[in-house]
A and B are shown apart, each in its own frame.
Chain A
Amino acid sequence: MEETSDHPNPTTDTPGTTPEPDLETMRSSKPGLKRLLITTTVLFSFLSGLPFLWKSVEIYRSQLPFHDIDSLSDQVKSAPLRFPCTFHAVFVGFGSNDPDQLRSEIQDGVNQLIGESSQCGSCNVSISVTVQSPDELCSETFPSTCSYRCGVIKRDSFGRGLDDAVDESLDDVFSGCSGGIGKMYSVVVVNKENGDEVKAVVGKRRHAWIVGSGLEERFGEVVGRVSEVFVKVFMNGGREEGDSIRGEFMPVGSDGRLVLSFSLLNSNPRDWIYDWDFQRIDEALLAPVTKALAPIANISVESQVLYHTPKSSFSSWDEKLQSYIFRTSDLPFFVNSNEWHLDTSAGASGRSKILQFVVYIPSGKECPLHLQLPNEEISKTNGFISPMWGGVIVWNPRSCDKDSESPSTNTISPQDLEKIVEVFLGQFRQLFGFKSEATYTSELGSYKILPSERGFTEWELDVLSRKHTCFNLRSCATTLGSLSRLVQSLPRMIIKDEIGEQVKYSLKAAKLAQSNASLGGYSSSASSSREARSLAENAFFHPSIMSVSYFSYEHCFAVYSPFFLPVAGHVVLAALREWRRYKQEKAKYLTWLTRKKAA
């Protein structure tokens, strides 16, 4: 039926071709507008409906601030974050030196050491110098950042006694110096009268001192060392530039949490069983460390004892050393992921980082077990670390003789346990990129570094929070950048409001971190950068991005084309024909009119 009614259509258009002679070229009546109106209204109603249809098939996309994201990543890339740091040098017992000249010399030294490549998380240095002459007269650079009371440091009595006590006394001296923006680091140089060798110590707080005689004569060297302490130690945390552990490694989860999982592995409990009292270690030794690191990461500690956990590499008997040896080349195969069930931590949620610390007790067949270094020496700690994974310590029992048939349960003695924890802390520091040695050596000499009972000294924590802020901001910027690239590349992907909000808040937190950093708020910028990173990661890993497949064009086309394609054909063609016919007829009418007028 439909086909046949469709068929006459073309014939309706043809009358113009072969009518009677007079009808062919003209008509006497005005052409009707009815059909043209009908078809055009239908066409227009279709056209006006299109936006509604478009709106209805549109998928929900929360507006992401693409521009802000781009500007943030540009900022992070082009201008590395810098914190204001104040360096204060006090020269005691120097007679003939102008503080302003000293300052410019130190400034030169500092600039030389910082060099061209300004690392992210470094300092915007401002230096002030105080010179105290042997007769206790002071001259300062202006503006003075610190109210150092002249004559508090006595030239001769300084540096006697324990280093810790000196450190404490310096803290009292500079206690009034908290003013100004950023953290304030000080170096005291004491030129003594009686002959002492030069000694340089870096304290637990933010102070260092160089004590010696005849320093005024070796003036250039002293200035060099002062600037070295400022840049290499206080600013960079005593890390080497070419360290293979890159500064970007920050073993903190993206939600700002870090789980330290300690495991004691009895490789063969049939030989001997060792146990530990970890509760006490946790309370006495680890709690101060986790407290000290609280601004950088939320650290939790857990422990377990595992049995039947052989290592997966082989060890060989060394006759000379009377022990079993495993070499550094064996280390990649030491961790036995099949038998060491270290994982499974319900405490670690989602994206927190787990650092595994493993104490491995060798079985009777491989006891004592030692790590041989490439230089044929035996490692003193008998342990190694794997960056971003954790550390392993091999602990040999006192005696390697199997006592009897039934193994007895022993507890690792407190002294041994303390040693193990010391090695742990060293490994932990290394995982954060610090040295585990108590000295720092450079070309100009070596510095003694006072270790803190909290594992990290204050200036080290400053370095950490600077690096951490920088790392967080960088990772936040890259995460948001990839999110915006992803979103822009998939125009039909649903983006929920939550994601948009998370991105917004993340950008806000990043801005706050940047402004806090420029104001010198170390912990506040660290915490807001942490927030920025975790929000960015939350947005990127939002379940709706991962799981909801987008409503594709193909689907849309498949659903709507069976109706709209044929109907649109009809409507458009009908309107076109009517319009053509109307023009034709009107032309005819006009010719008729002109002929009538002429007639």
Chain B
Amino acid sequence: MARTVLTWWIPLLILQSFLLAIAFGSNEVEEEFSESLLLKPLPDRKVLAHFHFENRAPPSNSHGRHHHLFPKAISQLVQKFRVKEMELSFTQGPWNHEHWGGSDTLSSMNAKPVGVELWAVFDVPRSEVDTSWKNLTHALSGLFCASINFLESSTSYAAPTWGFGRSSDKLRYGSLPREAVCTENLTPWLKLLPCRDKDGISALMNRPSVYRGFYHSQRLHLSMIDSGMLLEQSLTVVLQPDTVYDGKDLQPSWSLSSLFGRKVVGKCVLAKSSNVYLQMEGLAHPEAHTLLKNEEFELSIKPDRTLRETSSVLFIFDIDKSSDSEPFDLSLTWKLPSKWSCQQAPLHASRFLMGSGNERGAIAILLKATESQDKLSGKDITNGGRCRIKANVFQIFPWYVKVYYHTLQIFVDQQQNTSSEVLKKINVSPSADKMSSGMMEMMLELPCEVKSVAISIEYDKGFLHIDEYPPDANQGFDIPSALISFPDHHASLDFKEELSTLPLLSKFKDKSLVRSYTEVLLVPLTTPDFSMPYNVITITCTVFALYFGSLLNALRRRIGEEERFLKSKGKKTGGLKQLLSRFTAKIRGRPVESPSSEPTAAAQSSVLSSKLLFKIILVAGVAAAWQYFSTDK
């Protein structure tokens, strides 16, 4: 703090008229904050931790601009840019759909593309949406210490119509795959929580352990609901517990302190509810697991409640009772080897590049049937007696990837398919050079027994202006992830017990669209030699100057006079001189002029040297003048 703090003793300012009787009443609607943590062992010996914070504020028109728990920065953002709904996510690492789940609520909500993803719906006239979006990106960029402001340029965002799963003409979507996510993004995110990471569940967020994980995604979802504003902040991490492999194929045992290096010493006092959940999937005897100890595993703390779901059991812990002397340190110890698999999305999506060279290539999206498809197909709607899977593909292309939409090919089970059979709907907005990015939305309807679907589209690589290359252009350019969503599949947890009003669980009970993001693609573009313009200028100018000079000399040459002069010269010539003249004559294809020119060697050399001297002096003079001129500035 660089400012100087002066001290002033301030005697009471007596403002008699201020003693107004102000009736202070209590608010009808309160702001609410709740925190929760969901832990879930994953089949590949990892543990998923999902922090979820919910902050509700009553509508601002009835409650005013002054907040008690709700972050001021966010409410000002909402007021200034009239945001109706917004989601911002910072992600590092790819989500493993096979092992970490593909169709449950957790993965369809929290599996995000690498880098930064932002979408927002605005409550402004349609003509002002773009301006609002641009301003919002700048504000968020400052708020979260990230380069979200790069989403401002019209080449980096798109306006999806239906492919994104949310149809609104005031929706804008953009993503920055290159953005590196680190602790400087987490700190401002934590600043929005009333307890920050000082107290409660968020105290677990030890930076080294959070960033050591395999996957890390920090999300902020803001929505205007009937009862005001709802701000959801969640952090999903996939961690590897530190255990020695004992050869018995046992799942690793872990505790909160071993995962995070910290313990929970009490709830955030401002939170209305503060819970830890443990979700166990694929248990052998789901009935027996209400017990603290059983033959399969052991928990260190007795759960307050147990909820059963079709495929999993949920243990609920209340951390109210924990204190400094008795910290909450949940641990799970496995006793028997156990194996299970996660719920998979109907199709597993991956994306890759085809072709070689710096001119053209093709992008292919491959959808592969997963194991779970048989199970799911029973639930599918039958369309004319045939089972169908609907899949929406949403993809943004940067303008320098010039896609030829007519080359779109769809292969179903390796058979090329006429488009109309599976492609029910397509919406394409082509890119304009340096103006806007291209967008493709496709709705596919596939038979349930499909094994694989491949979509390929060809493109030409564009040329960028020299100013438009980013630093380190040789690394290549990223194409943002494609989004595959399954509109007929909804993920939700279906609890047998009646649910209380636990925020995270009610969130999980809501049906959410099953969606998965593909990988980010890296396209190498031809990168120029950035010193090239100067090289080109120099060489062309030199050639032109030589041409010009010789033309001028040729114009003012007096051949007759020269010949006369040469004739008048004596016959004695130096051996070298003669050789030279002969050589030049040979090159010119003229007969050797036997009475070759012979100025006295001394005169010749003196003339040459004086000319040379003159030239050198000229150049030196110009250089000196230039030096003087430039240093003077």
Contact = CB atoms under 8 A, between A and B. Distances in A.
Interface of A: 1-2, 4-6, 8-12, 14-15, 17-20, 35, 38-39, 42, 244-245, 269-270, 273, 275, 277-280, 282, 284-285, 302-305, 307-308, 328, 331-332, 334-335, 337, 341, 344-347, 373, 379-381, 383-389, 406-407, 411, 413-414, 418, 421-423, 425-427, 429-430, 436-438, 451, 453, 455, 491, 553-554, 557-559, 562-563, 565-567, 569-571, 574, 578
Nearest to B548: A567
Interface string B543-557: 011101110111111
A188 B515 CA distance: 82
A344 B541 contact: no
Interface residues of B, number: 85
Given A302-B66, A426-B12, A562-B538, 4 more contacts: A2-B549, A284-B20, A304-B67, A304-B71
A429 B14 CA distance: 13
B556 A562 contact: no
A270 B4 contact: no
A319 B607 CA distance: 105
Contacts of A407: 269
Contacts of B244: none
B24 A42 contact: no
Nearest to A561: B541
A453 B18 contact: yes
B76 interface: yes
Given A2-B546, A18-B568, A270-B199, A346 B76 contact: yes
B72 A553 contact: no
Contact of B13 (A278, A429, A565): A429
Contacts of B602: none
A346 B144 CA distance: 13
Contacts of B71: 304
A566 B545 contact: yes
A411 B68 CA distance: 11
Contact of B626 (A414, A437, A557): A557
A418 B537 contact: no
B196 A574 contact: no
Contact of A308 (B26, B198, B548): B198
A307 B270 CA distance: 9
Interface stretch (B206-214, B461-469, B483-491, B558-566): B558-566
Nearest to B269: A269
Contacts of B196: 307-308
Contacts of A344: 72-73, 143, 191
Contacts, number: 240
A431 to B, nearest CB: 10
A538 B80 CA distance: 22
A332 to B, nearest CB: 5
A5 B11 contact: no
B611 interface: yes
B622 to A, nearest CB: 7
Nearest to A270: B269
Given A308-B196, A414-B24, A554-B630, A381 B5 contact: no
A448 to B, nearest CB: 11
B633 interface: yes
The 6 residue pairs across chains A and B that have the minimum distance between CB atoms: A562-B541, A563-B541, A566-B545, A346-B76, A570-B549, A426-B13
Contact of B14 (A381, A389, A438): A438
Contacts of A14: 565, 599, 603, 607
Contacts of B13: 422-423, 425-426, 429, 436-438, 451
B15 A278 contact: no
A337 B587 CA distance: 83
Contacts of A345: 72-73, 76
B12 A19 contact: no
Contacts of A331: 5, 7
A5 B553 contact: yes
Interface in B12-32: 12-20, 22, 24, 26-27
Contacts of A19: 565, 568
Contacts of B499: none
B80 A558 contact: no
A11 B565 contact: yes
A27 to B, nearest CB: 11
B139 interface: yes
Contacts of B628: none
B147 to A, nearest CB: 16
15 contacts: A2-B546, A10-B607, A269-B199, A275-B68, A284-B20, A308-B196, A335-B5, A344-B191, A346-B139, A379-B9, A386-B5, A438-B13, A553-B629, A558-B537, A562-B537
Contact of A381 (B12, B69, B76): B12
Nearest to B588: A4
B532 interface: no
B424 interface: no
A2 B550 contact: yes
A363 B103 CA distance: 47
B67 A305 contact: yes
Given A6-B550, A436-B13, A570-B553, A15 B6 contact: no
A345 B6 CA distance: 25
A273 B11 CA distance: 28
A11 B562 contact: yes
B65 interface: yes
A304 B10 contact: no
A346 B18 contact: no
Interface string B38-78: 00000000000000000000000001111111011100110
Contacts of A559: 534, 537
Contact of B80 (A277, A334, A347, A569): A347
Contacts of B554: 5
A414 B1 contact: no
A67 to B, nearest CB: 24
B8 interface: yes
A389 B13 CA distance: 21
B5 A384 contact: yes
Contacts of B599: 11, 14
Nearest to B539: A562
A451 B15 contact: yes
Contacts of A285: 18, 20
Contacts of A567: 544-545, 548-549
Given A423-B12, A451-B13, A566 B552 contact: no
Most chain B Cβ neighbours within 10 Å, of A344, A386, A429, A566: A344
